[in-house]
Structure 1
């Protein structure tokens, strides 16, 4: 009986080992079972994802025959796909899963026709017709990354941005559902081209996004703040000026930096938006810094820096450095017990850019501030950290500031005892 069980087990193992995938079912590029086989004009079939990646990398030949390919839209090989699916079904008991029938990807002509139709609907403000088209765009984008790329390359982002501008200018409350759907679709297509950005940066669009920040649910707030971040990342100070004119935006951004209420996505994007607003070349940046300081942003950022992830810390350090550019910001920083210990602690612990911001902020506090800031920085080990920063390497500007800081700190070293820079026992400022 035992011998019979062993023979049966060996037989099953042998059956598994004998299962060999037919060569013509394998993609010549990936050597994996093809999920969506397509044929080139050369007659060779490949898995769609593999051959599209091959073309995206700048290749113009058939990988097998090395012939020049003139048509980069491969034809679905339905016969081969059905054969592969039938083979999978036959071998299901051996652990082979059936390959689902792939959706046919959209073509550039289909996308261009939809974008043109959307422009026509927008011109007459036909809300229901636009909503149906936007939902179709969302459906296409959810099906595959290829569809999303095809839409991005064939005018869909511009059509969506112009629709958002038009319906926001018409009425936010009446078109709120449509505007939310448009903003969701745009979020999946960043970064946008210049023409689309012009519509997204219009006064009506900006006011609509700020309205979403006030009145929408968490998802709507996330889409709006991410859209504002992407818009400001292009460095157009006119967008900063326009946002500065919208009443109450400063308070909203400070509220969003409360991590205990909102999501990391909102925190990260809010810090980026604040940084673009307080560090741009626009005339209103200095006023914005003062406004944010008055709203308690210095303490809020310090609280964020205590235990946030690296990407959030880096953006927080960037904002804090900008706030320290004004006297009012430095005064708020001096009054907070977390300031110097946190800045020193974050050096060489977040990122190279985070270290740059930390050094720059400490430089501002020590050079333009009180003598106590110099003493406290020495007590928590800034001198040794600066030497290490210079040793491991940094940018020219950071190197210059670190060197100047060392010269500034050196006269005080003899009379200052270095203490543990841990700040676990310090309480949050709010």
Structure 2
């Protein structure tokens, strides 16, 4: 079949200038150049110019369907179907701005729960269809604010509406500017997301985690330090439940991003974050980034006494962090060394000092101190940590002779 298809020469004007494939839904820009709809809409999302002429294309440009060319392509494909050419079906008419705006306006009508659900589900289908549709939805004035208002108003009673609104918002990939505006205009959004995290619907919990990640990333420091304890409790529970890789990563990002302040660190520790993070490292995160984030969160939490106490009280805490040194990535090694330095400096009882030697942590630090795999700042942190307890570690029977030779001088 492929050999037969190669023998048929496709007219050049049937090919999209972007993909060089036969156009299925040819559309023409104001510049007069015709492209396949899917290709040009993807292009315009980032470029904003005509690929061939380089002329600017207005952001609100809606390419004109080239019905004549499409019919010619369909006829030609049908004529050569015996040679393996695939038929081109008539494309579904794309949704227009007016229809998207109408659906958004219906979300504000709270008199009918059934009508609200119908509008949400149609909007969800529209958003799932293409990047173009998601761009149209984002461009509707106050559309994201209205969706967020649905999440807030329906998080307790109309859970189906809340779930659909969350899914739509998460599909839009909102900019930092849009998220900032969303946070400023919806003070109850965080509480609504906590309510969504408390439900049994794993999909909704994942969407709530993703939106919480975006929201906390743009919050002012004043609002971050006043986050309720429930946020940390639900984030930690999400890590325990391992709902999905994206949800786990979002929860880790929330922990890292919100625990720069001591008050939040204590909240996270009280929620049980430290043993959960250690258990994650023991089991092995699904990817390198997950390991880096887990170590980053531990580094943050070891910035407070409660976090360090939880770290050393876990039977495998010190050992598993030491095991990640030089085994995952440069970033992971640096974060693991930072955790070990915090423990050695502020929580090093005689038992902990001995444990660090017996579990091979001291040996790892000796290697890091001389390793070219690590940047200088990581090597210096390792040397600093080793100097803290040099009397106990330098001549320890747990340290092999070749590692003793690497021990930094005091």
> Could you say what secondary structure the match of 1:258 adopts?
helix
Question: Is 1:270 matched up with 2:251?
Answer: yes
- Per-residue CA deviations over 1:126-181 (Å, capped at 9, x if unaligned) read 4333323222211211211111122223332222113333445xxx22x2221221
Alignment match of 1:383 (pick from 347, 365, 388): 365
Question: Is 1:178 matched up with 2:144?
Answer: no
Alignment match of 2:202 (pick from 208, 218, 228): 218
Question: Is 1:302 matched up with 2:274?
Answer: no
* 1:363 CA displacement: 0.5
What residue in structure 1 maps to residue 382 of structure 2? 402
> Could you say what secondary structure the match of 1:28 adopts?
coil
Alignment match of 1:415 (pick from 396, 401, 404): 396
Question: Is 1:357 matched up with 2:340?
Answer: no
CA distance 1:113–1:195, shift in 2 (3 Å): farther
Give the Cα separation in 2 of the matches to 1:413 and 1:180.
58
CA distance 1:47–1:244, shift in 2 (3 Å): same
* 1:341 CA displacement: 2.5
CA distance 1:108–1:223, shift in 2 (3 Å): same
CA distance 1:350–1:268, shift in 2 (3 Å): same
What residue in structure 2 maps to residue 154 of structure 1? 140
Give the Cα separation in 1 of the matches to 2:6 and 2:300.
65
Alignment match of 1:233 (pick from 217, 220, 239): 217
Give the Cα separation in 1 of the matches to 2:11 and 2:133.
30
Give the Cα separation in 1 of the matches to 2:246 and 2:296.
17
Write out aligned runs for 1:85-164 (5 A). Answer: 85-115=74-104, 117-118=105-106, 120-121=108-109, 126-155=112-141, 156-164=143-151
Alignment match of 2:193 (pick from 209, 220, 237): 209
Give the Cα separation in 1 of the matches to 2:54 and 2:236.
59
> Unaligned stretches of 5+ in structure 1?
1-11, 420-430
Give the Cα separation in 2 of the matches to 1:60 and 1:410.
63
Give the Cα separation in 1 of the matches to 2:37 and 2:62.
10
- Per-residue CA deviations over 1:61-105 (Å, capped at 9, x if unaligned) read 561x56666784321111211222233333334333223433333
Give the Cα separation in 2 of the matches to 1:210 and 1:326.
25
CA distance 1:346–1:220, shift in 2 (3 Å): same
Question: Is 1:20 matched up with 2:12?
Answer: no
> Unaligned stretches of 5+ in structure 2?
401-410
**8 A contact 1:378–1:413 mirrored in 2:** no
Alignment match of 1:288 (pick from 267, 276, 290): 267
TM-score by length of 2: 0.81
- Per-residue CA deviations over 1:202-260 (Å, capped at 9, x if unaligned) read 23x333332222233222222222222222122434554554154xx54444333235x
- Per-residue CA deviations over 1:367-421 (Å, capped at 9, x if unaligned) read 11235544544551223442355x234375x4552342243365532334337xx
What residue in structure 2 maps to residue 31 of structure 1? 20
What residue in structure 2 maps to residue 423 of structure 1? none
Q: CA RMSD in A?
A: 3.2
What residue in structure 2 maps to residue 5 of structure 1? none
TM-score by length of 1: 0.78
**8 A contact 2:18–2:40 mirrored in 1:** yes
What residue in structure 2 maps to residue 73 of structure 1? 62
Question: Is 1:190 matched up with 2:169?
Answer: no
**8 A contact 2:206–2:243 mirrored in 1:** no
**8 A contact 2:134–2:172 mirrored in 1:** yes
Question: Is 1:367 matched up with 2:348?
Answer: no
